[in-house]
Structure 1
Amino acid sequence: MPVPWPEGGPWVLATTSASVDWQRAAAALAAASTVRAAALVFGSAERPGELLLGELATVLEAGDAAADPLSVDEAAAVVRTLARTHGLVLVVGVPGLLVPAGRAGWTPMDLAVAVSAPVVVVTGTGPDAANHASLALGAVAAHGLAAAVITVGDLPGDAAPAAVPAADAGAAGEPGPGDAAEQPVPEHEAGMPVTPAGRVPAGALPDDHAVAARRWLHPLLHASAGRPKGDTPPPAPQPLPPPATTSGKRVVLLLAGVFVSLSLVVCGLAFCQPAGQTDMSLEQVEVTAGPEGFVRPEPEPGDLARPGAAPGPDAGAASARPVAEICPQHRGRVTPARPDRATTRRVNAAWQRIEDWLAAHAPAGRRSLAPPAAAQTVDAAQRRMSVAFPADLVASLRRHDGVRPRSAGFALPPFYLPMPVADLPAEWLMLCGVLAEVFDAPESTWWDRAFVPFASSGDGGNLLVDQRPGRRGRVGEFFNEEGVSFDGWPGSVAELLERTADSLETGRPYAGRYRPRVTADGALDWDIV
């Protein structure tokens, strides 16, 4: 069965040898897209050139693997962080898909599995191209991921540089309709199990690289979903509704023009490292400051007050406040929440119902639930974030510390994976940093330092609990291009778990919208009805 090709998000780009011009392939993918693109590069001795830097908003190179290697989970966290502010994230593995790239010998293939990313295999046009591409495609097929092939180099004979005119995305090794297209087959492609979805020629670049790139690459490789390439200022933000009027309203803030500095990404990820472990090593290469002509919109009369932004024509030019000032860490005497017996019993009862149903109907989902978090780990996260968690969230973490790494067997409706407590501070700080960098104020309609994320959708969204005074414990939904909404979400984590258990046991759609379903491999999924 064909595997759908995503229109954006993370794509793993792996070369078949160190001699393949991966930069030209990555630049073509970025140029052909309509979204802001980033690249995270592993294993390349070649620094990014002008062509690549000219097409990407952000380029990160992993530090020397021999000095301070990333674990696969840390690398996945970097990818997910970039995906929050970029529509396309190219994860580049040089010199190959199965070559170790980090701590404990993980490979780009392992990272593709961890973030559920399709794989773009980049090969040359030499006599070994078909053999090398076939080996890489076989590895991808074994993991059930989607794959495509791009060739880079001189095209022998009369072969055209244009991509295959019609081919559906599919699992590696499964030819699509385009494989039967009537067109000359270059000799180096004769042994490939699939027709390349892109042919990028060598030599001088055309005047309009974007137009040419879209011609070289099949439309499935034209990323279009997510944060667009910005050329207009963002709309004026709308205020969050007051506590008494949140029901039935949805807060929308289009995050056009948000260009997050890479120092934020690095700080956000290093922030969650336990004492005694090495920090992640990332090197900032290039970050664009923002779209030309970007101006901060003047506040409307109904907007929330924004301390620190003086009125006047130069108000929008003020420097962003430090992240530590917007979202302080270890600030004040935060008393970590400890659930009482009644709260613990209620949460455990809801989890027991969920566990029993999973064990009987979705065993892969039951296996994906992680063991309990240690009490001291939960306490440390609260002190670090300077926010006391609601007691029922603490009780839930003490029952299951999220889901196991690289496991998608269980999700809260409709697609939110419970996060381990070790990931909460990094997620919180990253979003607080966007607040500091973009909105230049401690209050915002988009995010608040008193929001505690606890489940992630992997595409820029999460579930959170609101710990602002007067609203403590309420569950809400966040997405980076929309902001926060509490519409339709329960008043507590305990209620969320109970409603989830009700839906599983009865088969009735959660909130009338999401019906539980068990996949062929025994995982829990939710269908939109």
Structure 2
Amino acid sequence: MTDTEDTYADQRVAVAWARVEAGLSRVLPASLGQLAAPAVEPAIDEVEAALAVALPGDLRASLRIHNGTTWASPGSGQPSPVPLERLYDTGQIVEATRMWRDNYAPDPVFDDPHVWAYLVDQEHLCLNGPVRPIVGSSGALVLGDLNGDVHWLLDFDPAPGGTPGQVVRVDVECSTWDVLAPSWTQLLIRYAEDLELFATAPDRSTLVIDPDLGPASEWGSADADSWGTRPAWLRDVEPRDPYSS
């Protein structure tokens, strides 16, 4: 990217965060103190060096505004400002991504779009958008979690039709994978818009906010009616039962 493009990306992220903070001040002001101070540039560089990945410019810009969030302890009076327990700081991104990668175990039977199509048809797996459901994929950067089960990832190896660097919500326990936004900037904008809607017409917002805990982690996940429905990129794939001999 050119210097001009970098500056424009930084400005978009700053505006998006300002909208998020303004929205939180209206609907969940007690959460604002959980937004962390900016990361220093060497700490951001260390993420790239430790994980051998080039961070998108908008994520770098975001970390220079808020280096994650403080862990939201139930009953503390300081609810989470995001639909997770926390967004990670630079060191936690490295640690969590390494743990994610350590969970990868190649499986020639299940790492197959034909099997994913079958599992979606049988409602054993829910895919909302162009995402490959591979736990431990090396093409992911882990940005936050709830109870170690729900994660937000940057996905650098999307399924056909996806965007490298898209933000994905993964609930490992429930086998749901949801593409939340095509970029980190767009994720912040989407969240800001929903906070603004919650402030004026909460019944129309997809947010559910607990004043003690913060926004529910289900934000952005597929509706129950979406189970059994294949995403577009899997629509014409012949299903294969992995359990048949």
User: Could you say which TM-score interval applies, normalised by the shorter chain?
Assistant: 0.5 to 0.7
| Structure 1 unaligned residues grouped into runs of 5+ | 1-338
1:88-487 matches, within 5 Å, as 340-406=6-72, 409-413=79-83, 415=84, 417-435=86-104, 438-439=105-106, 445-468=134-157, 471-481=163-173, 485-487=177-179
Instruction: Please tell me whether Structure 1 or Structure 2 has the larger radius of gyration of its CA atoms.
Output: 1
Residue in 1 that maps onto 2:186: 495
Q: Deviations over 1:329-348 (max 9, x none)?
A: xxxxxxxxxx8111111111
- Separation in 1 of the partners of 2:69 and 2:93? 13
Structure having the higher helix fraction is 2
Judged with a 3 Å threshold, the aligned counterparts in structure 2 of structure 1 residues 404 and 527 are, in CA distance, closer, same or farther, namely closer
| Structure 2 unaligned residues grouped into runs of 5+ | 112-133, 224-245
State whether residues 140 and 154 of structure 2, in contact with CA within 8 Å, keep that contact through their aligned partners in structure 1. Answer: yes
- Structure showing greater relative contact order (alpha-carbon pairs closer than 8 Å, 6 or more residues apart): 2
Q: Secondary structure of the residue that 1:439 maps to in structure 2?
A: coil
Judged with a 3 Å threshold, the aligned counterparts in structure 2 of structure 1 residues 362 and 479 are, in CA distance, closer, same or farther, namely closer
Q: Deviations over 1:419-469 (max 9, x none)?
A: 11110111111121111xx3379x953331120111211232211111238
Q: Deviations over 1:376-414 (max 9, x none)?
A: 10110111101112221111111111112455623434x
Q: CA deviation at 1:486?
A: 3.8
Q: CA deviation at 1:481?
A: 3.8
**1:517 and 2:209 aligned:** yes
- Separation in 2 of the partners of 1:483 and 1:394? 30
- Separation in 1 of the partners of 2:177 and 2:165? 14
CA RMSD of aligned residues (A): 3.1
Report how many aligned residue pairs link the two structures: 183
Q: CA deviation at 1:482?
A: 5.6
Residue in 2 that maps onto 1:112: none
Q: Secondary structure of the residue that 1:463 maps to in structure 2?
A: strand
Judged with a 3 Å threshold, the aligned counterparts in structure 2 of structure 1 residues 525 and 376 are, in CA distance, closer, same or farther, namely same
State whether residues 346 and 494 of structure 1, in contact with CA within 8 Å, keep that contact through their aligned partners in structure 2. Answer: yes
Q: Which amino acid aligns with 1:477?
A: R
Judged with a 3 Å threshold, the aligned counterparts in structure 2 of structure 1 residues 419 and 374 are, in CA distance, closer, same or farther, namely same
- Separation in 2 of the partners of 1:419 and 1:386? 18
Judged with a 3 Å threshold, the aligned counterparts in structure 2 of structure 1 residues 477 and 398 are, in CA distance, closer, same or farther, namely same
Judged with a 3 Å threshold, the aligned counterparts in structure 2 of structure 1 residues 367 and 422 are, in CA distance, closer, same or farther, namely same
- Separation in 2 of the partners of 1:483 and 1:452? 19
State whether residues 100 and 135 of structure 2, in contact with CA within 8 Å, keep that contact through their aligned partners in structure 1. Answer: no
Q: Secondary structure of the residue that 2:182 maps to in structure 1?
A: coil
- Separation in 1 of the partners of 2:9 and 2:147? 29
- Separation in 2 of the partners of 1:345 and 1:429? 31
Q: Secondary structure of the residue that 1:394 maps to in structure 2?
A: helix
Judged with a 3 Å threshold, the aligned counterparts in structure 2 of structure 1 residues 468 and 484 are, in CA distance, closer, same or farther, namely farther
Q: Which amino acid aligns with 1:495?
A: Q
Q: Secondary structure of the residue that 1:428 maps to in structure 2?
A: helix
- Separation in 2 of the partners of 1:340 and 1:472? 18
Judged with a 3 Å threshold, the aligned counterparts in structure 2 of structure 1 residues 425 and 356 are, in CA distance, closer, same or farther, namely same
Judged with a 3 Å threshold, the aligned counterparts in structure 2 of structure 1 residues 482 and 358 are, in CA distance, closer, same or farther, namely closer
